[in-house]
Structure 1
Amino acid sequence: MGLSSRNAVAIHALTLLARWPDNSLTSAEIAGSLASNPVLVRRVLGNLRDADLVRSTEGRGGGWSLARAPGEITLYDTFAAVETGPILSRHPHPPSTSCEVGRHMRALLETEFRDAERAMEERLGRTTIAHLLQQVLTLERELALPSR
């Protein structure tokens, strides 16, 4: 099964929570930033909570907050918390063994796909939520500069 949008939603939510570390944000507030449905956001946040990336508090003034420092949460941590299965789709059923391409393709693709998935995992492991937040703040400062 290929990637869903859960990872992008999770990274967005974590970066938003990192932006306001002294406040808990509600699912509705996070969904507002995502222009999304709070139910979807709660599902993704539940996965992040299960992975000890966020915590929730109930009641008045409750909401969601980071469970770890933004510099300790990588994009791979986020991916692993919300996505399941291989990144690249494999053959849905065995190819024909009577075909010279079919009898070799599964093994060849498995090697290529596994290497590609490892490369993606390594790359996502180098970027933290703190890195993304810094980029957001830099872009915001650039937008605030008067044009000449």
Structure 2
Amino acid sequence: MISSRFTVAIHILALIEMSEGSITSAYIAGSVNTNPVVIRRIMSLLSKAGLIESRPGVTGMKLVRPLESITFLDVYRAVEVPENDVLFAIHQNSNPQCVVGRNVQNALEEPLLEAQRQMELSLANTTVAQVVRQMESKQ
């Protein structure tokens, strides 16, 4: 399961885009309904990925790139760090004496990699700007 960091990160980017003036981690935490420490950790990941720039004090944070160019895949890669960039972990040390245990890893590898490719393709085709526009249209 992808953690909630992904959706919280999109929430953060949307708030930065839709806010008028400076925005703080405490304000974002209030909107997300979580601790500011959680927000700062996710903001740090977004900053390392080159999606936001955070400055202490009055200036707050800003987007580094236009929201139209930030895809869900960019956000996913920024905040979800799958081991070896593989979404699905296949269990190790199956029993080689068992026909399933001996073959399950090889049988699962390609379908799971294809599922990951399809998910990433879908994420790459959705921008955070689309989500913001949808929220703005509901106001």
**Taking structure 2 as the reference length, what is the TM-score of the superposition?**
0.92
Counterpart secondary structure, 1:101: helix
Q: Who is 1:132 aligned against?
A: 131
Q: How many matched pairs?
A: 136
CA distance in 2, matches of 1:63, 1:104: 53
* 8 A contact 1:23–1:65 mirrored in 2: no
Q: Which amino acid aligns with 2:11?
A: H
Q: Who is 1:145 aligned against?
A: none
Percent of pairs with identical residues: 38
Q: Who is 1:62 aligned against?
A: 59
CA distance in 2, matches of 1:51, 1:123: 20
Q: Who is 1:143 aligned against?
A: none
Stretches of structure 1 lacking an aligned partner (at least 5 in a row): 141-148
Moved over 3 A (4+): none
CA distance in 1, matches of 2:80, 2:22: 25
- Superposition pairs of residues 65-144 of structure 1, within 5 angstroms: 65-85=62-82, 86-91=86-91, 93-140=92-139
Stretches of structure 2 lacking an aligned partner (at least 5 in a row): none
Deviation digits for residues 53-75 of structure 1 (CA, Å, limit 9, x no counterpart) = 0001122x131211110101001
Q: Which amino acid aligns with 2:26?
A: A
* 8 A contact 1:47–1:81 mirrored in 2: yes
CA distance in 2, matches of 1:89, 1:135: 34
With over 3 angstroms needed to count, the CA separation of the structure-2 counterparts of 1:24 and 1:108, relative to structure 1, is farther
